[in-house]
Amino acid sequence: MAAINVRPSMRLSITSMRLSPEHVSKLPKLMDLNQKGYTDQAIAFINAFWTNGPTFKDSAEKCESVWNWHNTVVEVDKENGTKGSELDEIKVLRVYELMGKTMTAREKKKVFNDLDVDGSGNASLVEILLREFNVDWLQIVDAPQGNDNDLKLLAETEDLVQKASMAMEDSQTKAKLSREALAASEAANVEATQTQAESAAAKDIAEKDAAAAKKAADEAKAAEAVAIDEKNAAVASEEAAVAAEADAKAKAAESKAKEEAALGAEAEAKSSKEASVEAEEDAKLAEEAAKQSAEAAAAKEEAAKAGEELAVLEEDAARAAETAAFDQERLALEQEQAAADAASEAKVAEAKATLSNENAKKEEEEAKAAEVKAEEAKKEAEDTEAKAKEAEKDAIAKEFAAKKEEDKQKKSAAKMKEVEELALAAELKANQEQEAAATAEQLQAENTIKAIEAENAAQQQLQESEDAKVRAGEAKEAALAAKKQIKLMEQEVKAAEQEAKSAQNAMQSLAKKAAASKQKAAAKEKVFADARAKAQKAKETEERNQAEITEQREAIERKKKERVEKIKQLEHDIETTDNIVKRGRMVNELHNFRHNYDETIDNRAELTLKALGKKRKPILDELEKAEADRTKAWEPYNQAKLAAEKEQEAADAAAATAKAHADAAAEATKRAQAASAEADRTAEEAVRHKELADEAKEEAARKRAAAKEAKTLQEKTLKDAQVSRQKATASLEAAKAKREEAEAHRIAADKIRDQAEESRRQAEELRHAAEEATRIAHEASKAAEFARLEAQNEREEAEKAHEEAEADLKAATAARQKAEETKEAAENGRKQATDAREKAVAAADKAAEQRKVATAQRKEAVELRQHADERAEAAIAPREAAVKAREIAEENLTLAETGRALAVEAREAADEAATGAEEWRKQAESQRSKAEDSAKLAQEARAVAEQNQAKADESASEAKEKLEGAEKAAADAKTKAEQAKVTATAATAAVKTSMKAYGDARKKLKKLNSSLKEVGQGRMWWMSRQLEEDKKYMSPQQLARLEKNM
């Protein structure tokens, strides 16, 4: 029997399980079954145990259990589904969890090791079912699955069932889609209709609102224009009133001043002349004080007026502040960050300014020192310039003498150079001749060598052609010998074919014998399997009984142990507790445990143990008998199986021998054919090689003759080249000697010329140095002067830079302080921004009050200015009067009295005019304020109207777009409704088709069930269960029609 190849892990599993030889031989079948899909595994399991073991034929509940295990495995193997075949350890344990079988970690490991029968590292559905139903896998691998006709009918029926299931699922999917589409279309239609009505109403309202808003905007614009005209008129009236008031006040002041002057003049005229000087001085002081008072009053009036205007602006700003407060709060953060950055930059600027100030001081000091050094350098440069001019004169004289000597030596060196060049040309020519001769000699030598090599090659080729001719003859003889060998091989092939035929006959005979032995072994195997099943059942009964006894004993011992531990615990608690009440309660409990214990519980447990012991004896007898029957059945079964295996091995060996003979015969035939083809090819190759050898021999003879002629010619040419080279060498030696003599003369002349040139160069360098020194000294003098001036300028610039640096430092310090203040203000501003938003309304009211106060202050300031003007005018008149009074006091007395009377009249008239002008101004101011308020309100009304108009236009546009969208949605809803109807029609057709397919499958399955007997019933049940599962897709009406048709 052929050996079974198994993986190392499988060998370990086989060894650990101690499988019988039968299990080992049939393990590949189990492995094949484990590689099938989960559905095929479940069906094979039900088929195998339809009438034995779990006997699925008589238990629908067990069949349903297999169905549930199958569905759970498929659910866990999400990647493969029904196409999967095995699960890893984690997924297997997940299957057990889903099936409600919880286990400890050790139990899980043991379960998986028990499941993995084939040692693959995974567990199939078959292996799980084998454990759950506690059956041997030998029954499933050898279980018949039906003959070819039955299998064909089952496959056809299964195909019908699958198609019916797919059609049923497809019909339900289509029906669901059609219902969803119909509901969606109806909802969309209702929504579109409602939206269309709402949009139309909204459009009408928006258009009416837009027309009303446009009318309001036009009216607001007209009102704004009227208010602006009224404002402009009020402003013009106020300006005229102010001008009249000012003119009247000026006149009143002037009259009052005249009156006061007259009074003063009159009073002073009555005074003594000695007091006139003192009065003049007092008048000057009074004039200055009056002027200052007048200026202060005017400034206060202007400030009051500005305060009034500012109050108006603040009121407007306060009204806007409520809106701007949100922005101010956001900006406050930015300002705080900007202030922090500014403070940082100011500190950097302050540091830079400090550094610049220090650098400026250093530069100022360095400039002063440079100015002193420049003065010293200038003096030194002037001295150096005088010395350099003297040296320059001496250098010019030396240079002239050296120049004459250099010219003389140059002429001599030129003559020697010509002689040397002629010698060098002769040497070069001789050298070229020598090189040409050497090249020719070398070339001829190489050609001679090539000629010799060509002669040798020709000789070698001649020899090779002779050798090839010999080899061709040998190949021809080898081909004749191969043909003889082929005849012998053909005889061997015939003999091998005869042996292969005999071995085939023997193999067929042994195979028949082995098949008969297998049938006998199978019959004995069934007897052994029945005996083994009975023994296994008896063993399981004994194990259950033993487990029950052990459990009962353990329960008794556990209760006794718990009682002893409870007593010990109570004794310990009694000794350790300090609570008297608690101790008394525990003493009572201890007394009850010791004296009031119910021993009937132990007695019942002992009686139970005795009953189980009595029950065990017949079980053990039955187990012993079953084991004896199994042992008795094993020996004939094992002998029959071994005999069948030996006969099968013999048949296999015979088959292998026959195959080997047949293979040897075929191989010998191939070798003979190959040898025959090789012999023919060798013979043809030999003839071709002989022809090639003859041709090569003739070619070699020709090349050898040509090589000899070339060799003779090259030897003669080589001798001529050697003579030419010797002549060229002699010419080269003579030219070299002549060139060396000329070169010696030239070198001597060059030395003398170089000495003269060196003297001239040194003199020239001295002159240049003197000139350079003179120039440098002169330049140094200039540079010193320039440096002094530059140092002076730098000192002045440094002083300025110092002053600027100090100013920059002060500015940077101020900027830093200001930046820090700004930063602090920004922080406060950020904190106050939120409060400002809340206080904006109150601030507006306060600003209005401030504006009223400012108006009152301005009025007071006007009055003060009037009084100050009067005092100023009064101060001027007394001073002038005092001057005149000092000269003509007596003369002006009468005039003063007259003037005073006139001044009183003028002042009274001016006061009346001023009062009227002030009333006019007040009325104009009131009208202006009212006009401004009206203009502001009109402007705000116009802005609000424009905003309302824009919103109304936008609402009308949105309503129009919404109406268009609603109309489009209505059209889409209508289209969806039509599509839903088409889908519903298709779903109805699919339901009819699926119902027909389902009915055909049920009829086919019913017909097949009556024709099959035991084989294939597992697959039949599976298909019936699948059809039952498909009923969940049917409605009650469909189920009723189905039952009626069936």
Residue 856 identity (one-letter amino acid): A
Q: Which residue, among 333, 314, 340, 329, has the nearest Cα to 832 in the 3D structure?
A: 329
Q: How far is CA 799 from CA 360, 786, 807, in A?
A: 7, 19, 12
Q: What is the 3-state secondary structure (H, E, C) of 588-613?
A: HHHHHHHHCCCCHHHHHHHHHHHHHH
d(CA 27, CA 46) in angstroms, rounded, equals 20
Q: What is the pLDDT of residue 80?
A: 92
The pTM of the whole model exceeds 0.95: no
- What pLDDT score was predicted for residue 598? 63
Count CB atoms within 10 A of the CB of residue 187.
12
Question: How far is residue 335's CA from residue 343's CA, in Å, rounded to a whole number?
Answer: 12
- Give the SS3 label for residue 1035: coil
CA distance 985 to 979: 10
Which residue blocks in 4-136 are alpha helix, DSSP H? 8-17, 21-34, 38-48, 60-76, 89-98, 105-115, 125-133
CA dihedral angle for residue 846, residue 848, residue 849, residue 854, rounded to 10 degrees: 120
Per DSSP, the residues of 832-896 read: HHHHHHHHHHHHHHHHHHHHHHHHHHHHHHHHHHHHHHHHHHHHHHHHHHHHHHHHHHHHHHHHH
Whole-angstrom CA distances from 857 to 247, 306, 311, 834 are 21, 11, 12, 32
Cβ atoms < 10 Å from Cβ of 705: 11
Maximum separation of any 2 CA atoms in the chain, in Å:
189
- Measured CA to CA, the distance from residue 231 to residue 228 in angstroms comes to 5
Contacts of 525 (CB under 8 A, 6+ apart): 22, 637, 640, 641
Q: Which residues contact 27 (CB under 8 A, 6 or more apart)?
A: 4, 6, 10, 14, 19, 118
Q: At a CB cut-off of 8 Å and minimum separation 6, what does 150 contact?
A: 1012, 1015, 1016
Cα 933 from chain centroid (whole Å): 62
For residues 128 and 73, the answer to whether their CB atoms sit within 8 Å is yes
Q: What string of DSSP letters covers 467-489?
A: HHHHHHHHHHHHHHHHHHHHHHH
**pLDDT tens per residue across span 159-210:** 777 676 677 667 667 766 767 777 777 777 788 788 778 778 877 887 887 7
Closest CA to 171 of 1037, 1021, 903, 994: 994
Distance CA 8, CA 922 (A): 120
pLDDT of residue 686: 67
- For tokens 């196409």, the residue is 83
Is the separation of the CB atoms in 133 and 115 below 8 Å?
Answer: no
pLDDT in the model for residue 38: 93
Q: How far apart, in Å, are the Cα atoms of 95 and each of 60, 66, 68, 128?
A: 22, 13, 11, 10
Packing angle of the helix pair 600-1011, 148-270 (nearest 10 deg): 110
Taking the C-alpha atoms of residue 286 and residue 273, their distance in angstroms, rounded to an integer, is 20
Per-residue pLDDT, 1024: 82
For residue 77, the model assigns a pLDDT of 94
Contact 652, 2 (CB under 8 A): yes
Predicted confidence at residue 496, as pLDDT, reads: 64
pLDDT in tens, 733-792: 887 787 777 777 778 767 877 776 787 788 778 778 777 877 887 777 777 777 778 778
Asked if residues 168 and 994 have their Cβ atoms less than 8 Å apart, the reply is: yes
Residue 4 DSSP SS3:
coil
Residue 481 sits at the vertex; the CA angle it makes with 477 and 482, to the nearest 5 degrees, is 115
| CA–CA gap between residue 506 and residue 15 (Å, rounded) | 37
Cα 396-398-402 angle, rounded to 5 deg: 115
Look-up of token digits 């393990």 = 27
Query: Which are the contacts of 76, defined by CB distance < 8 A and separation ≥ 6?
Result: 87, 91, 94, 95, 98
User: Rounded to an integer, what distance in angstroms lies between the CA atom of residue 616 and that of residue 735?
Assistant: 139
Question: What values do phi and psi take at 102, rounded to 5?
Answer: -85, 145
Encoded tokens for 958: 């949105």
- Residue showing tokens 């006959």: 505
The per-residue pLDDT for 88 is 92
b/e per residue, 6-45, with b = 16+ CB within 10 A?
Answer: beeebeebbeeeebeebbeebbeebbebbebbbbbbbbbb
Distance CA 469, CA 472 (A): 5
The helices-and-strands tally (H runs, E runs) of the chain is 14, 2
In this structure, what DSSP letter does residue 1014 have? Answer: S
Residue type at position 87: L
Query: Distance of CA 463 to CAs 143, 459, 477, 552, 910, Å?
Result: 83, 6, 22, 111, 162
Measured CA to CA, the distance from residue 119 to residue 86 in angstroms comes to: 12
Dihedral angle computed from the Cα positions of residues 71, 77, 83 and 88, in that order, rounded to the nearest 10 degrees: -120
CA atoms within 13 A on the CB side of 409: 21
Residue 710 identity (one-letter amino acid)? A
* Integer Cα distance of 876 and 800 in angstroms: 49
Q: Measured between alpha carbons, how far is 481 from 566 in angstroms, rounded to an integer?
A: 109
SS (H, E, C) 129-178: HHHHHCCCCHHHHCCCCCCHHHHHHHHHHHHHHHHHHHHHHHHHHHHHHH
Residue at token pair 């009223």: 852
Residue 95: its pLDDT value, please? 92
What's phi and psi for 124, nearest 5 deg? -90, 170
pLDDT value of residue 11: 33
pLDDT at 3: 40
3-state SS class at 119: coil
Listed residue (748, 749, 744) closest to 414, CA to CA: 749
For residues 388 and 649, what is the distance between their CA atoms, to the nearest angstrom?
130
Interstrand relation of 123-124 and 86-87 (parallel, antiparallel or unpaired) = antiparallel
Angle at 427 between CA 424 and CA 431, to 5 degrees: 135
CB atoms inside a 10 Å sphere around CB 1028: 10
Successive 10-residue mean pLDDT values, the chain, 1046 residues: 38 45 83 91 90 88 94 94 91 91 84 83 91 88 66 70 70 71 76 79 79 80 81 79 81 80 76 72 77 76 77 75 70 75 77 79 79 79 78 74 74 72 74 73 72 73 72 69 68 69 70 71 74 80 83 84 87 85 82 72 70 73 77 76 79 75 74 73 72 74 75 74 76 77 75 76 78 77 77 79 81 82 79 76 78 82 80 76 74 75 78 80 83 81 83 81 81 80 74 70 68 69 82 71 66
To 5 degrees, how large is the angle CA 597–CA 601–CA 602? 90
Q: 42, 129 in Cβ contact below 8 A? A: yes
